[in-house]
């Protein structure tokens, strides 16, 4: 009895598994471009002279990254994601890596999933004290001297979390904790792409740390490719 059952179970598992794989790989795509209108405030140069080991890593002074723009009014570092219509996804086991390098956070906006391991590394010859500022998740701050192992943590609720360093006031970044795997960050041309969307009705949300949030509804049938563009109003500050 048991001998007969095993191959059937295996066959069912195989069919189910292949079906699941198809659903993930196929489907439709939402892509587009994020731009701004108006005049954004200019990025300001950062004075790192108090931390010479970091200052010497930058041939030219780096600038603030609160608003990063590109050619043709493109807006970088916007998190575009499916906020409604997609089921929650299990987190990948691979850690999302947040780097402290040259007294800067790399990347400026790190996107990962609920319960996905987060790894914070210090590549600098100085100590950092990373201090993410969540409102719904648990708050912590941790000191990380040069050469110390990665700080490993995770968040159990979706949230956009500003990140600062308690040692270097200019260091600023963001965590974006997502419920599913359908997310992208706009690149230097403002472009983004959300592939592998099964047919359905979705809310696409675009989030920018300074310009706020916008959402649009989109319906995908079959393996349709749809274009959704976002235009943010530049906020002088
Ligand atoms: Cu620091």
Taking the domains of the chain in order of start, what are their residue ranges?
28-233
- The Å distance, Cα 43 to ligand 1 centre, comes to 20
Express as a percent the part of the chain with pLDDT over 70.
89
Of 34, 62, 82, 73, nearest to 209 (Cα)?
34
Binned at pLDDT 50, 70 and 90, residue 20 comes out as very low
C-alpha 177 – ligand 1 centre gap (Å): 22
CA 6 / ligand 1 centre spacing (Å): 56
- CATH architecture assigned to 28-233: Sandwich (2.60)
C-alpha 117 to ligand 1 mean position (Å) = 21
DSSP three-state, residue 22: helix
Burial of 176 (0-12, 13-18, 19+ CB in 10 A): buried
Over residues 162-179, the pLDDT tens digits come to: 999 999 999 999 999 999
pLDDT tens, position by position, 139-162? 999 999 999 999 999 999 999 999
For residue 25, name the pLDDT band (cuts at 50, 70, 90). Answer: low
Quote the ligand 1 centre to 97 CA distance (angstroms). 16
CA atoms within 13 A of residue 223's CA, in its CB half-sphere: 5
Task: Tell how far the Cα of 150 is from the centroid of ligand 1, in angstroms.
Answer: 15
Distance 222 CA to ligand 1 centre (A): 48
Quick one: pLDDT band at residue 235, thresholds 50, 70, 90?
confident
What share of the chain in percent tops pLDDT 90? 86
Using DSSP, state whether 52 is helix, strand or coil. Answer: helix
């Amino acid at each position: 009895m048991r001998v007969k059952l095993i191959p059937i179970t295996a066959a069912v598992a195989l069919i189910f598994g292949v079906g699941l794989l198809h659903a993930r790989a196929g489907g439709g795509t939402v892509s587009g471009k994020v731009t701004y209108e108006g005049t954004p405030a200019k990025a300001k140069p950062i004075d790192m002279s108090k931390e010479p080991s970091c200052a010497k890593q930058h041939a030219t002074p780096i600038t603030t990254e609160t608003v990063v723009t590109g050619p043709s009014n493109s807006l970088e570092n916007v998190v575009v994601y499916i906020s409604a219509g997609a089921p929650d996804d299990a987190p990948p086991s691979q850690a999302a890596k947040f780097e402290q390098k040259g007294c800067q956070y790399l990347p400026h906006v790190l996107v990962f999933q609920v319960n996905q391991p987060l790894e914070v590394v210090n590549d600098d010859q100085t100590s950092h004290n990373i201090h993410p500022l969540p409102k719904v998740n648990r708050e912590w701050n941790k000191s990380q001297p040069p050469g110390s192992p990665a700080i490993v943590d995770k968040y159990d609720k979706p949230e956009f979390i500003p990140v600062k360093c308690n040692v270097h006031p200019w260091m600023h970044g963001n965590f974006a904790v997502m419920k599913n795997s359908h997310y992208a960050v706009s690149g230097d041309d403002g472009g983004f792409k959300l592939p592998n969307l099964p047919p359905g009705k979705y809310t696409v949300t675009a989030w920018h740390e300074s310009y706020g949030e916008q959402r649009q509804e989109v319906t995908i049938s079959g393996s349709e490719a749809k274009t959704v563009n976002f235009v943010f109003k530049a906020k002088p500050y």
